Structure 1
Amino acid sequence: MIENIIWLALGLLVIASLIPLHNKIKLPLAGVSWLFFSIHWMFQWQHYYELEDYVNLFLTIFAAVFSIFIGYILIKKDRRLFGKINGIDTLTSISMMTTAVAISGISYFLFSEIPSMNSWIISTVTDQTVWTGSILGITITRLDWNLIAVNGYKVEIILACTAIESIALFIGIIASVNAPIKRLASAFIISVPVIYGLNLIRNVFVVDAYGMMWFGDPDMSFYIAHTVIAKIGSLIALFLVAYAVLKILPEIIDMIDGILNLVGGIFKNDG
């Protein structure tokens, strides 16, 4: 039952996104969608706690709380909050965010929840990691559909190694923007293919550093390469990609401003 909550939430988010902006059922339906979305995230924290992945643990808790908050705002349907605040239309902003979450969610959960899609993307990234290694002069042996090795040291490619989370996020945000197709295409090209390519290089770096013991023993080499260097590098790369996308699509900044103005308006009214 819990596994199906995410599909119910995404389905409702898609429907809410398709409803015209000023239709009276749009806001409450979107609110219910966000509440169902929050239920999914409420059940994810334990997984990351067991993995001792405290960054994603925090993000899942934040996602659950934020989704409840947005759901409450939309169901409350206080029309004083939905209009132009500081020149930004908050109704348009929250509609864009709902669309972005719907598209991002579908783009990600298709691969995380459907076994055949999950196997396909992992196998594809595994194959292309080996190919990228050969281009860079690094011999990577493919042992199985999701298993590679350097110098006999094996690394399993999992969904997190495909960069699908970041790719899905940018696809959703870009698709939610009402802008000329040329700018949308430019934003897509500067983000999705770049993230995918950099992720392949990241995979090659991690497996080679691990197998060739760049930083001491294998375990320490894997930790430094994967958890320290690759993670910092990924954050820097995502920041630069996000900056480039925002330059191309400043409408995204308006959306963010609109959400912040909406939240600020709530606390102002409550005060």
Structure 2
Amino acid sequence: MLIVLWISISLMLLSAILPGKNGSKRIIGAIGWGIFSIHWLQQPLHYIAIEDYVNVALTVAMSIFCMLIAHTMYVEHTRKYTSMKRHIDITYMATNAIAIGSVFYFPFAEIPSLKEWLIGTVTNNIMWTLSSLELSAYRTGNMITYNGHTVEIILGCTAIESIALFMGLIASVNAPIKKLLAAFVVSVPVIYILNIIRDVFVVVAYGEMWFGPNSFEIAHHMIAKAGSGVALFVIAYMVMRILPEILELIDGLWDMTTEQMHNLKKKVLGNN
């Protein structure tokens, strides 16, 4: 249900924008994370229906992770201490990152007019690039046909997930504006441009049948995905060099998760 998603995002965003570091910020954030976990817990049924068990595991894991964040923020609220005793407040920063990233992603994912606009914009950019390369292709809606082979441009072809992720991480860091802008420049525009190149590669590889009858699968599922993974790794490295607080956030979340799981294990074994 979308109402669950929007309530959770609204609460986390409210927690992010409230001034200071008072207890109400933590309790609002904790409730937001708790409801966000319910959103993810609703997803496995869909993936079970289509027999996508990898995403079943991922969504269940995401739900558990959200519950752990919610529990940590609630404990911090009641005990009046900051998470992990680090230089940055892990749960605040994670809440800000998720709230801001969600604001950039879910409107495009859930509002049809925005989704169509984004897909249309990316399709236009792909067509412009093909034209610049003097490759003759034609477009029907969000379908691009080249050499008689048609590729459909969907939301996953826009890189909005990666863009939203980096926007959330960058905006969650308390750093000088110059460093934030530098991190933005080496990530968001670069991701968008590389994604257009990736999409053009898939269209041309499929149209030219570079890899035989399975050209689309090889170009899209193997080469393009591998290339995207390498590119995102390099971009993430560059961003963390500029904003090392992001690495501290990741490290802190790992420590928090392992500590919470260890405590849960002790309680379960203790009860037995």
TM-score of the two chains, using structure 1 as the length reference: 0.89
Q: State how 1:102-117 maps to structure 2 within 5 Å.
A: 102-117=99-114
Contact 1:21 1:95 in 2 (8 A): no
What letter corresponds to residue 230 of structure 2 in structure 1? I
> Gaps spanning 5+ residues in structure 2: where?
267-272
TM-score of the two chains, using structure 2 as the length reference: 0.89
Distance 2:234 2:205 in 1: 25
Distance 1:44 1:196 in 2: 28
Distance 2:195 2:238 in 1: 18
> Which 4+ stretches in 1 moved above 6 angstroms?
none
Distance 1:49 1:183 in 2: 43
Which residue number in structure 2 is paired with residue 172 of structure 1?
Answer: 168
2:92 counterpart of 1:95: yes
Distance change >3 Å, CA 55–CA 188, structure 1 → 2:
farther
Structure 1 residue 166, shift from structure 2 partner: 0.3
Percent identity of paired positions between Structure 1 and Structure 2: 47
Distance 2:143 2:48 in 1: 25
Distance change >3 Å, CA 195–CA 128, structure 1 → 2:
same
Structure 1 residue 114, shift from structure 2 partner: 0.9
Distance 2:261 2:61 in 1: 19
Q: State how 1:238-257 maps to structure 2 within 5 Å.
A: 238-257=232-251
Distance 1:102 1:141 in 2: 39
Structure 1 residue 142, shift from structure 2 partner: 1.1
Distance 2:202 2:55 in 1: 20
Distance change >3 Å, CA 51–CA 197, structure 1 → 2:
farther
Structure 1 residue 79, shift from structure 2 partner: 3.0
Contact 1:17 1:95 in 2 (8 A): yes
Structure 1 residue 84, shift from structure 2 partner: 5.5
Structure having greater relative contact order (Cα 8 Å, sep ≥ 6): 1
What letter corresponds to residue 105 of structure 2 in structure 1? Y
Distance 1:114 1:191 in 2: 25
Contact 1:44 1:60 in 2 (8 A): yes
The CA RMSD measured in Å over matched residues stands at 2.1
Which residue number in structure 1 is paired with residue 269 of structure 2?
Answer: none
Distance 1:171 1:108 in 2: 10
**Which shifted more, 240-249 or 29-38?**
29-38
Which residue number in structure 2 is paired with residue 143 of structure 1?
Answer: 140
Which residue number in structure 1 is paired with residue 67 of structure 2?
Answer: 68
> Gaps spanning 5+ residues in structure 1: where?
none
Which residue number in structure 2 is paired with residue 124 of structure 1?
Answer: 121
Distance 2:192 2:107 in 1: 17
Structure 1 residue 236, shift from structure 2 partner: 0.5
Contact 1:111 1:121 in 2 (8 A): yes
